[in-house]
């Protein structure tokens, strides 16, 4: 008796890459293997996936080309030309004024408190420490249940901190001065991502947190309930950094990722408002210019760049042939004249934002500088490094 | 390196771009005409060709990249730490000494980009060779590794020992100079890839990024991704742009306006707390201080946003609005801010409260919004959400900014605030307390309070003798800049 056998081939589906039973699909004499779930999804889309994907790709490319043309039309002068009238800065002396020792492993992230002297820092071994950096005393310490705590933030009220990393979550810890109370007991899990948390920041209040993750998305969360208020999709790879805009309407933020793109988002609609793709490697850090009209980015391609939001283009590149290691974090001085950038070659370079020249190089750390923030009143800046220490410079 | 699936966009990720840059640098350094001066180095009884001095390396870097000596030394040290240069004497320590110490360039075979990650088998062979050649030359951590590997790849141990012996035999047939060089090269490679405890590992990376990491599922839904990208690009094309010259001029204006307010650029009075360990500056500029400083009051005139961001400024502005019977505008704006940034759970109650107080017909503090915005807002109130009052808030904000704010700046209230504002005094002892800009920055520090100021810190007009002494002080002592 004849019997028909259906051979089940198991393998990796060409669409979702999961290990499933595969069905062969022939497109233009090329065989692709999809799992049954993907076949149904594609049928529901009503499209032949390959064809639309190719046409969308080419459409995106041609639109990018047009956008570059449009941007170039209004570009009538370079920043260093305009800055010729500005006085050059004199010799610069900044020294380490405080060294915070206490982390047992690489310091990955730090954030200042609004009181201009406290700060929170997180490290690879899971420890998150709140310091009064003026006295170098440790005020609070909590150990996270995961390693590589890559993001931490201080709440605007000064009453809580947020942190997260390889646990894919962002947790908020209220700060209590009761010595008997265990900080970890009151921990609140706010954000849930499907990959590591790379950056987090409170918005104007303690009630909302903005997060960026290795899963390629950013998200806005309500702290009290843990509810997702808005998610931001558009990066093609891990998102590594974000910064909230100091604008008048206060509704945008910028993010940078491994896809070399810096994207500006509207927090209300979740849509990408502007995108810039001129870096040659991962963007490790983004920071707004104090006026909110521009932002700077630091990247693994050893350059920092300034992007103007009104002109909608890159307006300056801060690079030097002798600087070959990536910039891990950047921040502006209060007037926006100086850009401080921490690099993976253990140094901090200070750039004249207007003239584009390097004003000074600061040595001191013994391993890569992973995080750098100027204090809220601009009197100093703090750098954290893989050498287990934080330094306050002024 | 292992192949990896390309991320969206189709360009393969270049991991560690700094390595290829270092390699280019090292290749340039070896250029016969433009590179570092090479010489033959006498070592024990052999002569090693193509060696370079530490000091020559530093000088070459200084000249090529126009950098100072400390930076050149640092850059050279990084090259040595990453194994692109190795010391001929004492190869255990990977550091650059700016003197006659001889170095050589690592062979490309051992470059990190060629031969990474280092294979355990190779390490076992290397340690075995060392052990066989001279018993007891293995350092502690190497001994540990050796035993660990012996346990781990026990099944292949015969292969390891055989390879080790073969390599040693082949090495014996080479000239002494070559043998020495190859040994140094190999040792450097392993110092970089298996650093001794305590030494930082230069090859260490953070947690894996991007789709190249093993075990990561690449971005699915590529169709959605491209659709979104196309939409974003279409929107971006329709964006209104401003001429570059206008935008860039704005930076100049902003920097010059805010320069005197930037403590790192222009110093701060009485002193920078981080430098002098005196937190008087913070006390004087506390968020809700009774008497704000002159600089702070002046900053309120820069932009409406900066006035509102300062609690003291906002309070004075509220007083001013009270005088003009339009204080409800600012209160409404504050309530909207609370709504936008507050907790989700409070949204319905807050929206209701705002409606009752500000928007309802006949409300106690009714705000004057144009009829179209009012209609839209009231319609939206049936389904309250965080952003339901955004349009109304923007309208009121612009009203205050265009109308009340300029009047505030011209008002007697503001003028009096400026006149009464505190101008801090620099303490007469100790070194100048903050970093300074070029000479012109001195004017901004205003160490002398003008007559008529009600500064509560020191007498306003200093005694003449003190004055001349202080002038002498500025001149004699050089600035830290």
Mutation target to probe the A interface, by most A beta carbons within 10 A, among B244, B311, B444 is: B244
Residue A214 counted as domain residue: yes
Q: Which residues between 337 and 396 in chain B have a beta carbon less than 8 angstroms from any beta carbon of chain A?
A: 337-338, 340-345, 386-387, 390, 394
Pairing of strands A169-174, A160-164: antiparallel
Are residue A99 and residue A36 in the same domain, yes or no? no
- A159: helix, coil or strand? coil
Please tell me the distance from the alpha carbon of residue B245 to that of residue B247, in angstroms, as a whole number.
Answer: 6
Residue A278 counted as domain residue: yes
Are residue A86 and residue A37 in the same domain, yes or no? no
Range of the domain at A19: 9-46
Asked whether the beta carbons of B273 and B279 are under 8 A apart, the reply is: yes
Residue A131 counted as domain residue: yes
- Rounded to two decimals, the pTM is 0.86
Are residue A134 and residue A19 in the same domain, yes or no? no
Strand-pair partners of A153: A162
Residue A54 counted as domain residue: no
Q: Between helices A49-73 and B222-237, what is the axis angle to 10°?
A: 30
Nearest-CA distance A5 → chain B (Å): 32
Residue A361 counted as domain residue: yes
Are residue A41 and residue A134 in the same domain, yes or no? no
Would you give the distance in Å from CA A384 to the centre of its chain?
Answer: 16
* pLDDT digit string (tens) for chain B, length 481 residues: 333 333 444 445 666 889 999 999 999 999 988 899 998 888 777 888 889 999 999 999 999 999 999 999 999 999 999 999 999 887 788 889 999 899 999 999 999 888 778 888 899 999 999 888 877 778 888 888 888 888 888 888 899 999 999 999 998 999 888 888 998 999 999 999 999 887 888 888 888 776 544 334 444 457 888 888 899 999 889 888 999 999 999 999 999 999 999 999 999 989 999 999 999 999 999 998 999 999 999 999 999 999 999 999 999 999 999 999 999 999 999 999 999 999 999 999 999 999 999 999 888 899 989 999 999 999 999 899 999 999 999 999 999 999 999 999 999 999 999 999 989 887 765 444 333 333 333 333 333 233 333 332 333 333 333 333 333 333 333 333 2
Are residue A34 and residue A112 in the same domain, yes or no? no
Please tell me the distance from the alpha carbon of residue B479 to that of residue B437, in angstroms, as a whole number.
Answer: 9
Are residue A32 and residue A162 in the same domain, yes or no? no
Are residue A164 and residue A292 in the same domain, yes or no? yes
Question: Which of chain A's residues have a Cβ under 8 Å away from the Cβ of B22?
Answer: 324
Question: Are residues A150 and B206, on separate chains, in Cβ contact within 8 Å?
Answer: yes
CATH of the domain at A104: 2.130.10.10
Are residue A99 and residue A216 in the same domain, yes or no? yes
Q: Where are the beta strands (DSSP E) in B166-280?
A: none
Are residue A87 and residue A31 in the same domain, yes or no? no
Considering only the beta carbons, identify the residue of A82, A227, A238 that sits closest to B248.
Answer: A82
Measured between CB atoms, does B200 come within 8 Å of chain A?
Answer: yes
Residue A56 counted as domain residue: no
Please tell me the distance from the alpha carbon of residue A296 to that of residue A301, in angstroms, as a whole number.
Answer: 14
Are residue A144 and residue A270 in the same domain, yes or no? yes
Are residue A104 and residue A209 in the same domain, yes or no? yes
> How many domains is chain A built from?
2
As for the ipTM of the complex, it is 0.85
Are residue A86 and residue A35 in the same domain, yes or no? no
Q: Between helices B17-29 and B69-81, what is the axis angle to 10°?
A: 110
Residue A58 counted as domain residue: no
Residue A77 counted as domain residue: no
Beta-carbon contacts of residue B425 (< 8 Å; ≥ 6 apart): B269, B270, B447, B449, B455, B457, B458
Pairing of strands A217-222, A208-213: antiparallel
φ and ψ of A179, to 5 deg: -65, -25
């Amino acid at each position: 008796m004849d019997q028909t056998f259906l051979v089940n081939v198991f393998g990796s589906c060409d669409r979702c890459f999961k290990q499933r039973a595969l069905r062969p699909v022939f497109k233009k004499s090329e065989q692709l293997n999809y799992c049954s779930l993907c076949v149904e999804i594609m049928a529901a889309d009503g499209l032949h996936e390959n064809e639309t994907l190719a046409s969308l790709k080419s459409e995106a490319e041609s639109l990018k080309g047009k956008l570059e043309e449009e941007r170039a039309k209004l570009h009538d002068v370079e920043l260093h030309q305009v800055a010729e009238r500005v006085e050059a800065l004199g010799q610069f002396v900044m020294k380490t004024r405080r060294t915070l020792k206490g982390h047992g492993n690489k310091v990955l992230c730090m954030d200042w408190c609004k009181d201009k002297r406290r700060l929170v820092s997180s490290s690879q071994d899971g420890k998150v420490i709140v310091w009064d950096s003026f006295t170098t005393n440790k005020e609070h310490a909590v150990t996270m249940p995961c390693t590589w705590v890559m993001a931490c933030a201080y709440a605007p009220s000064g009453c809580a901190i947020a942190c997260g990393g390889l646990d894919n979550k962002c947790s908020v810890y209220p700060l209590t001065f009761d010595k008997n109370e265990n900080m970890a007991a009151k921990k609140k899990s706010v954000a849930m991502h499907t990959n590591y948390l790379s950056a987090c920041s409170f918005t104007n209040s303690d009630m909302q947190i903005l997060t960026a993750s290795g899963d390629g998305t950013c998200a806005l969360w309500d702290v009290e309930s843990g509810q997702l208020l808005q998610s931001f999709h558009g990066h093609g790879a891990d998102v590594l950094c974000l910064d909230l805009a100091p604008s008048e309407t206060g509704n945008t933020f910028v993010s940078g990722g491994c896809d070399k793109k810096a994207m500006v988002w509207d927090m209300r609609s979740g849509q990408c408002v502007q995108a810039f793709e001129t870096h040659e490697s991962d963007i490790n850090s983004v920071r707004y210019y104090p006026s909110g009209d521009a932002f700077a980015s630091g990247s693994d391609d050893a350059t920092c760049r300034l992007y103007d939001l009104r002109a909608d283009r890159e307006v300056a590149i801060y690079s030097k042939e002798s600087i070959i290691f990536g910039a891990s974090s950047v921040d502006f001085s209060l007037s926006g004249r100086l850009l401080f950038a921490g690099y993976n070659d253990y140094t901090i370079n200070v750039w004249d934002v207007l003239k584009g020249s390097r004003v000074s190089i600061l040595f001191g750390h013994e391993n890569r500088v992973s995080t750098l923030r100027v204090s809220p009143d601009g009197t100093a800046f703090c750098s954290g490094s893989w050498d287990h220490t934080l330094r306050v410079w002024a | 390196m292992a192949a990896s699936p390309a991320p969206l966009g189709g360009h393969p990720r270049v991991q560690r771009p700094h390595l290829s840059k270092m390699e280019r640098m090292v290749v340039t350094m070896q250029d016969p005409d433009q590179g570092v001066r090479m010489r033959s180095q006498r070592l024990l009884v052999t002569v090693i060709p193509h060696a370079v001095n530490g000091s020559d390396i530093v000088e070459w870097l200084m000249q090529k990249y126009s950098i100072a000596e400390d930076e050149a030394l640092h850059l050279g040290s990084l090259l040595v730490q990453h194994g692109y240069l190795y010391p001929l004497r004492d190869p255990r320590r990977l550091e650059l000494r700016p003197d006659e110490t001889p170095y050589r360039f690592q062979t490309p075979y051992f470059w990190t980009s060629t031969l990474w990650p280092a294979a355990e088998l190779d390490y076992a062979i290397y340690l075995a060779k060392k052990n066989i050649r001279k018993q007891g030359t293995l350092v502690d951590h190497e001994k540990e590794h050796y035993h660990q590997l012996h346990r781990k790849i026990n099944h292949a141990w015969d292969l390891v020992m055989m390879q080790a012996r073969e390599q040693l035999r082949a090495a014996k047939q080479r000239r002494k100079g070559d043998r020495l060089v190859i040994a140094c090269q190999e040792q450097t490679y392993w110092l970089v890839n298996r650093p001794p405890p305590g030494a930082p590992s230069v090859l260490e990376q953070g947690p894996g990024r991007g789709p190249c990491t093993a075990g990561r599922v690449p971005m699915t839904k590529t169709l959605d991704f491209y659709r979104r990208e196309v939409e974003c690009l279409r929107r971006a094309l329709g964006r209104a742009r401003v001429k570059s010259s206008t935008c860039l001029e704005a930076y100049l204006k902003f920097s010059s306006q805010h320069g005197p307010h930037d403590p790192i650029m222009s110093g701060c009075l009485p002193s920078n707390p981080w430098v002098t360990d005196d937190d008087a500056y913070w006390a004087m500029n506390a968020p809700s201080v009774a008497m704000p400083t002159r600089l702070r009051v002046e900053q309120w005139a820069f932009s409406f946003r900066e006035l509102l961001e300062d609690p003291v400024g906002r309070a004075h502005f509220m007083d001013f609005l009270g005088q003009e019977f339009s204080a409800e505008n600012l209160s409404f704006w504050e309530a909207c801010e609370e709504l936008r940034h507050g907790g989700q759970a409070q949204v319905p109650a807050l929206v209701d409260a705002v409606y009752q107080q500000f928007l309802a017909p006949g409300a106690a503090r009714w705000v004057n919004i144009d009829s179209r915005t009012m209609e839209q807002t009231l319609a939206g109130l049936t389904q309250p959400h965080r952003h339901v009052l955004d349009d109304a808030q923007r309208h009121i904000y612009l009203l205050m900014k265009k109308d009340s704010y300029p009047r505030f700046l011209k008002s007697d209230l503001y003028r009096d605030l400026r006149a009464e504002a505190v101008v801090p005094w620099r303490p007469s002892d100790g070194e100048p307390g903050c970093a300074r800009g070029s000479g012109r920055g001195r004017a901004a520090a205003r160490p002398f309070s003008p007559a008529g100021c009600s500064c509560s810190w020191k007498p306003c007009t200093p005694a003449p003798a003190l004055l001349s002494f202080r002038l002498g002080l500025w001149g004699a002592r050089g600035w830290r800049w």
